[in-house]
Structure 1
Amino acid sequence: MSTNQPTVNNPFASSRKNGNRIKNVLFTTLVWGVGICTIIFIIGLLFLILEKGMPKLSFDFLIGIPDEIMEGGGIGPALFNSFYVLIISLIISIPLGMAAGIYLSEFAPDNKFIGFIRICVEGLASVPSIIFGLFGIVIFVETFDIGLTIIGGAVSLAFLNLPVLTRVTEEAMRAVPQEMKHASFALGGTHLQTIRRVLIPVALNGIITGICLVAGRAFGESAVIILTAGVTTSGEMWDFNLFSPGETLAVHLWYVQSEAIVPDATEIAEKAAAVLVFIVLLINLVFRIPLWMNNRKMSTK
């Protein structure tokens, strides 16, 4: 004998469910709207900068020597110094930043002193870049008395990048599932082997993203370079002397727009801004290649 009990509809539960559905739709619409508006703004800004400068670019402008008085000067030495300073700063900051991040995530004891160190690193990551420029003046211009040089600007940029790379590396290493670490130990791997063959490859995406961010920031940095490397170049296109003045493209853009007296200063600024934005975008694309290769390698295992 079966009894069919009638289903009782709860009006309060039904109204609550409808209210949650409406809130979900509104929130999703808001997120999509903000995201689309942000993307449109970024694309519009990039298009505005590139559209003004890219059509006017020429090879002579990219390798030409800047002129203080006559029009038609180029950005060759400043462009070379930008890459030169960036490469030196990354050579210094990447090994030190990764080593510090690995130590904090894998070897540092969990005590108040290490917690204080983490707070200091986070604080340095948010310090304005001009503070690192003033620090570079104290070290290289006043203490070592070497003046405004490429090596001073590069090392100061490395100091600027170190806190960010340290925190990014530490967080990327901590994000690796503990099961993978324990599995490596269970298979007989040492701590060093586990870090080198398991943790770093899995955390590589986050680490490379951090390197990409600091590289783009360093390439477009001006305050640190003005204070430690100066606003002039040696006048040579390929000057590898570390003690030469180290004006970069970002500094040259600022100088042309605010201080230069050349008749075509506005046109030079527009072309230099387009080159700067294009190279920053190219840096982001180049650093994505190891990410794609690492993802493909991990997916085939």
Structure 2
Amino acid sequence: MMNAKQSDRLATVVIYTLVGVVIATLVFLLGYILFQGVPHISWRFLTTASSNMTAGGGIRDQLFNSLYLLVLTTIISVPIALGAGIYLSEYAPHNAVTSFVRSAIEVLSSLPSIVVGLFGYLVFALKFNLGFSVLTGAIALTVFNLPILTRNIEESLEDVPNLQREAGLSLGLSRWRTTTKIVLPTAIPGILTGIILSAGRVFGEAAALIYTAGQSNINVSYTDWNPFNASSFLNPMRPAETLAVHIWQLNTEGVTPDAKAISAGASAVLIIVILLVNLGARGLGGLVYRRLTGKQAKGAA
């Protein structure tokens, strides 16, 4: 029989071993993708339109479409999730109705992305006659990310100590001002984490976008950014093949001679952009947190 110190030492070794396995797996995957793809990345690769038949194509349009969908989905989903999270955390009574709503959110968060894509295709693309478009893809991704984002915001608000709410109410503040001036700024780091995770899912999602945003793409020049032009990059009603969908298409039905090289380079760009978005969002969140609360956020740069 082991004594308490031996058991603690063994448990510590096991925990560190498992953590090391996870970190090593992550480093291996990221290193392999970057090692295979970075040599194919160049300015021409990033600024050249893709080619379906000839070699030498780039990922300009797909990269822009991914960023465009990320921004549009965030604009749609964050206010809705923020309002729902505030209501569930600060205003909703504890009864059967709110329990059912939370259960429904848990069920929706576990839906496969392909199911959300088919739902978006049947409802938004066909029923509402939006067709394959950026807007259809953004709405489908909103349905895909909204449950997780709402749950994350609710938990971030609930993690704020009740003493801060009581202090605000004792000073004569209304519940709304207490929530917006005290509780919400304190919960910004957790809320930002949820937004970052949802942004990563949006940028790397492929299955849901195949049936909503489409697999075709309209190649236009950077000078043709008139939002009223049917072929403009800024037109939300045009079809848009994203970077993740482009990678999937290259590996399944790509006929270009350098399909593997383009796929490897696009995968590396996808990883790099997600890392940059995460770091940038954390830095921005830390700045906003310091401005609102006057102190350093935990884990902020």
State TM-score, norm by structure 2.
0.91
Consecutive unaligned residues of structure 1, counting only runs of 5 or more, are 1-14
Given the alignment of the two structures, is residue 186 of structure 1 paired with residue 180 of structure 2, yes or no?
no
Q: How many angstroms apart in 2 are the aligned matches of 1:245 and 1:296?
A: 40
Root-mean-square deviation over aligned CA pairs: 1.5
Structure 2 counterpart of 1:131: 115
Q: Taking structure 1 as reference, are residues 65 and 296 closer, same or farther at Cα in structure 2, changes over 3 Å only?
A: same
2:278 and 2:90 map into 1 onto residues whose CA distance is 29
In structure 2, the partner of 1:259 is 253
Aligned to 1:86: 70
Q: Match of 1:250?
A: 244
Structure 1 residues 206 and 237, CA gap change in structure 2 (3 angstroms) = farther
Q: Give the Å deviation of 1:291.
A: 3.6
Which stretches of structure 1, 4 residues or longer, exceed 6 Å deviation after superposition? none
Distance in 1 separating the partners of 2:73 and 2:143? 8
SS in 1 for 2:3: helix
Query: Which moved further from structure 2: 266-275 or 138-147?
Result: 138-147
Instruction: Decide whether the 8 Å contact of 2:124 with 2:136 is kept in 1.
Output: yes
After superposition, what is the alpha-carbon deviation per residue over 1:233-253, rounded to whole angstroms, capped at 9, x for unaligned? 111255111111111000001
Task: Tell me the residue number matched to 2:21.
Answer: 37
- The CA distance in 2 between the partners of 1:237 and 1:83, in whole Å, is 17
Give the superposition deviation at 1:283.
Answer: 1.2
Counterpart in the other structure of 1:103: 87
Structure 1 residues 245 and 83: CA distance shift in structure 2, 3 A? same
TM-score, normalised with respect to structure 1: 0.91
Q: Gaps (5+ residues) in structure 2?
A: 223-232, 297-301
CA distance in 2, matches of 1:109, 1:279: 41
Instruction: Indicate how the Cα distance of structure 1 residues 237 and 277 shifts in structure 2: closer, same or farther if over 3 A, else same.
Output: farther
Q: Distance in 2 between matches of 1:135 and 1:222?
A: 15
Tell me what 1:270 maps to.
Answer: 264
How many residue pairs get aligned? The number is 285
| Distance change (3 Å), C-alpha of 1:43 and 1:299 | farther
Name 2:11's counterpart in structure 1.
27
Q: 1:299 to 1:62 in 2, by over 3 A?
A: same
2:63 and 2:243 in contact (8 A); partners too: yes
Contact 2:215/2:246 (<8 A) preserved? yes
Report the secondary structure of 1:83's partner residue.
Answer: helix
Letter in 2 for 1:23: S
Structure 1 counterpart SS, 2:139: helix
CA separation of 1:79/1:198 partners in 2, compared to 1, >3 Å: closer, same or farther? Answer: same
